[in-house]
A = this chain, B = another copy of it.
Amino acid sequence: MSGQAHVAVVQLAPRLLDFEANVNATVCAIETARARGADIVVLPELCLSGYMFDTMDEARSCAIKPEHPVFTRWARALAGSPGVVVGGFAERSGPELHISAAVVDATGVRAVYRKTHLWNSEKRFFAAGTEAPPVIDTAFGRVGVLICYDLEFPEMARSLAMRGADLIVVPTNWALDARPYGDEPPQVMLARAAARINHVHVACADRAGRERDQEFTGGSAIIDTAGWVLDTPDADGFAHATLTLSSARDRQISGVNHVFGDRRPELYTEVYRTADTA
């Protein structure tokens, strides 16, 4: 395992329903990130399709299987390197669609994660995944995957970190939210909390632009294990940071305090087992 990973997140502005244009934009983004030295490249949620579908037919029109040649192109852009790309796509699986993220290296698709918490109109078009997100061994460390609204469930980042993730990558499409009292997008605040609470690196690839009546946040950020934002996108939409992924594993935060060891599961397990909506 190498000591350091150059992580890039690319804040694309996908074109709704223009699959070919989006494929080309992702390949170009990966090549550019690679040329700038990136080992791990994170692309937004649904970056091959766009987001604001009006009908099921629209959602289906850009949905693909993990065998689709776009992922071969992503893999080819990594040829000869231990690099990794994680990006979001609309996945077709029988009659169902999923909001998925593919983890791709030079050998092809390593894993696919299907988003398990669906936001708002996503529920009209997509089925929620039924499997916990993957933790992938890479040459740089262990990479876990979440998608967008998943981050609003602290159980998810906690679970990934406890299962060994050194870096959580988050393809996302953050709808622009009100910020009555500050400038930081609230979604970034939640990503920072997830990083700090679990002593794990977090890299969020948000999208830019607007689709139909929906404006997006453009809140991409690379966050360290103390919850500080190391980089946000430059004018080209690229954020970069060099991280020692394995540094996440030392969760001893004082001589006698350990982020996981200090947990008192006996005090909260019962609540966690209950899907209560009191």
> Of B132, B189, B251, B255, which one neighbours A227 at CB under 8 angstroms?
B189
A254 interfacial by beta-carbon distance below 8 Å: yes
Say whether B272 contacts A272, CB under 8 Å: yes
Query: Once the chains are docked, how many angstroms separate the CA of A262 from the CA of B122?
Result: 13
Say whether B228 contacts A182, CB under 8 Å: yes
1/0 contact string of A102-130 vs chain B (CB within 8 Å): 00000000000000111110010000100
**Among the listed stretches A11-19, A27-35, A75-83, A154-162, which one makes contact with chain B, having 4 or more residues with CB under 8 Å of it?**
A154-162
- Chain B neighbourhood of A265, CB < 8 A: 155, 272-275
CB of A115 to closest CB in B, whole Å: 11
Query: Once the chains are docked, how many angstroms separate the CA of A190 from the CA of B189?
Result: 8
Query: Once the chains are docked, how many angstroms separate the CA of A158 from the CA of B158?
Result: 13
Say whether A116 contacts B158, CB under 8 Å: no
CB of A85 to closest CB in B, whole Å: 25
- Chain B neighbourhood of A275, CB < 8 A: 260-261, 263, 265
Say whether B228 contacts A155, CB under 8 Å: no
Given A153-B264, A254-B120, answer yes or no on A162-B197 (Cβ-Cβ < 8 Å): no
CB of A224 to closest CB in B, whole Å: 9
Say whether A155 contacts B193, CB under 8 Å: no
- Chain B neighbourhood of A149, CB < 8 A: 262
Say whether A181 contacts B228, CB under 8 Å: yes
CB of A266 to closest CB in B, whole Å: 8
> Of B131, B229, B257, which one neighbours A120 at CB under 8 angstroms?
B257
A235 interfacial by beta-carbon distance below 8 Å: no
A226 interfacial by beta-carbon distance below 8 Å: yes
1/0 contact string of A212-237 vs chain B (CB within 8 Å): 00000000000000111110000000
> Which positions in A face B, CB cutoff 8 Å?
116-120, 123, 128, 131-132, 149, 152-156, 158-159, 162-164, 180-182, 186, 189-190, 192-194, 196-197, 226-230, 251, 254-265, 267-269, 271-278
